[in-house]
């Protein structure tokens, strides 16, 4: 082991900031407009307190859980984030190996900088594939079929991005759209997209994303794949109920890491509303702002089946490649184990609503 390894996610973030060109660090780290939701995704976790229970034998802690029938050693999985080659030349292949080493699920982004085939053959793991729906439906359909034939186990349809959020750092930096390896051969790219108006990424998204995407398109997606479909980007009870009605296999409470609609609620504050609406019909996952094992514990207590982490894995990858991404997941797992022990919970099932105190609880 190297000396002086980072001891928490925040230290990895510092290393990533030093390692990356400003434009790329800003792209990864940034959020939409005033970045209110970006700050709140993290701050809202800070306003939830834990209610430790004592004198319980915690000599054995079992963090294992299941998602869509798959066993996982812990409820922490890897969120889909695009362009991992910005962080490390091995890109998503390194992340996939890190996730596999931790026996966890990786959700591969539509914006992956490695080909789906390369990631699939890099190591054995359970993987989900994240989908954006493009105006060119044939492109999305082809990618779903490729993922399905390569053994991916679920489709994560991102529903919070009919248009791209306004990320001002990217506009200021004239962020170049990262290379999307899986679109090569399917779509032509205009390398000279004029960036005078700001972010090339924004321009690319504007030309490709289908803003007409609606609930009936979930039916379309179901008609072209037999894989279970999780809807990512739901933060209200109304949409959660609709998701169950249209046959989603899971709901992911997400505001896209605060990169889409600013002033959307922090996800940990929206989780309970969604969990109640779904009423156990399908698993509910949450992402956004998870930086500590105690955050994962809080999400479990408020009803999440699993949590996804986005930027922390990216920071690990930027700082130390595959080993860094793996270390980030391992650290979060160890922190969760500690939180469970100190709260007197020996299994994920023992983590209950009574173990947390939210702001709402304190006002009541």
Binding residues for glyoxylate: 27, 132, 167, 254, 256, 259
The helix/strand/coil state of 280 is: coil
> Residue 212 burial (CB < 10 Å; 0-12/13-18/19+)?
exposed
How do 229-232 and 49-50 pair as beta strands? unpaired
Contact mark string toward ligand FNR, 28..67, x via CB under 6 A: x------------x--------------------------
Strands (E), 164-221: none
- Cβ distance to ligand FNR smaller for residue 87 or 345: 87
As a three-state string, the secondary structure of 297-342 is: HHHHHCCCCEEEECHHHHHHHHHHHHHHHHHHHHHHHHHHHHHHHH
CA 201 to chain centre: 20
**Which of these, 293, 334, 327, lies nearest to 313 by C-alpha position?**
327
Q: Give me the least distance between CB of 346 and ligand FNR, in Å please.
A: 27
**Distance between CA atoms of residues 81 and 153, nearest Å:** 18
Q: Dihedral (C-alpha) 58, 297, 98, 253: value to the nearest 10 degrees?
A: 150
CA 238 to the chain's CA centroid: 22
How big is the site for ligand FNR, counted in residues (CB under 6 A)? 24
Q: Round to whole Å and give the CA distance between 227 and 230.
A: 10
Minimum CB–partner distance for residue 287 and ligand FNR (Å): 4
| Interaction between residue 293 and ligand FNR (CB under 6 A) | no
Choose one: 77-85, 168-176, 200-208, 296-304; the region binding ligand FNR (CB under 6 A): 77-85
- Binding to ligand FNR in span 154-183, by CB under 6 A: 158
Contact flag: residue 310 with ligand FNR (CB under 6 A):
yes
The correct pick among 65, 88, 130, 269 for binding ligand FNR (CB under 6 A) is 130
Annotated binding site: 27, 80-82, 109, 130, 132, 158, 167, 232, 254, 256, 259, 287-291, 310-311
Name the catalytic one among 24, 256, 327, 355: 256
The answer to whether residue 327 is catalytic is no
Of 233-292, binders to ligand FNR (CB under 6 A) are: 254, 256-257, 259, 287-290
Residues with catalytic function: 256
Sites of contact with ligand FNR (CB under 6 A): 28, 41, 79-82, 109-111, 130, 158, 232, 254, 256-257, 259, 287-290, 309-311, 314
């Amino acid at each position: 082991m190297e000396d002086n390894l980072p001891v928490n996610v925040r230290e990895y973030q510092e290393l990533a900031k030093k390692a990356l060109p400003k434009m790329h660090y800003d792209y990864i780290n940034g959020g939409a407009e005033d970045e209110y939701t970006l700050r709140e995704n993290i701050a809202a976790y800070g306003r939830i307190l834990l209610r430790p229970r004592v004198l319980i034998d915690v000599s054995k802690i079992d963090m294992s859980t299941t998602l869509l029938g798959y066993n996982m050693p812990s409820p922490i999985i890897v969120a889909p984030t695009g362009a991992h080659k910005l962080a490390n030349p091995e890109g998503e292949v390194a992340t996939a190996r890190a996730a596999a080493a931790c026996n966890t699920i990786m959700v591969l982004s539509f914006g992956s900088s490695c080909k789906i085939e390369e990631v699939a053959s890099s190591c054995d793991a359970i993987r989900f594939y994240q989908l954006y729906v493009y105006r060119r439906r044939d492109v999305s359909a082809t990618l779903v079929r490729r993922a399905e034939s390569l053994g991916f186990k679920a489709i994560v349809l991102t529903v919070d991005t009919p248009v791209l959020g306004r990320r001002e750092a990217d506009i200021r930096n004239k962020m170049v759209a990262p290379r999307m390896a899986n679109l090569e051969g399917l779509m032509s790219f205009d390398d000279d997209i004029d960036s005078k108006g700001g972010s090339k990424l924004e321009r690319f998204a504007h030309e490709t994303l289908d803003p007409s995407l609606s609930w009936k398109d979930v039916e379309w997606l179901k008609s072209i794949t037999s894989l279970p479909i999780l809807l990512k980007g739901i933060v209200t009870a109304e949409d959660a109920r609709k998701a169950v009605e249209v046959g989603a296999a899971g709901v992911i409470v997400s505001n896209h890491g605060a990169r889409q609609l600013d002033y959307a609620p922090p996800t940990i504050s929206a989780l309970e509303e969604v969990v109640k609406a779904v009423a156990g019909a399908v698993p509910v996952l949450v992402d956004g702002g998870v930086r500590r094992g105690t955050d994962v514990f809080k999400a479990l207590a408020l009803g999440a089946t699993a949590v996804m982490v986005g930027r922390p894995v990216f920071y690990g990858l930027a700082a130390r490649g595959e080993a860094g991404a793996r270390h980030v997941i391992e650290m979060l797992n160890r922190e969760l184990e500690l939180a469970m022990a100190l709260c007197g919970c020996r299994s994920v099932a023992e983590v209950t609503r009574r173990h947390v105190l939210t702001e709402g609880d304190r006002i009541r």
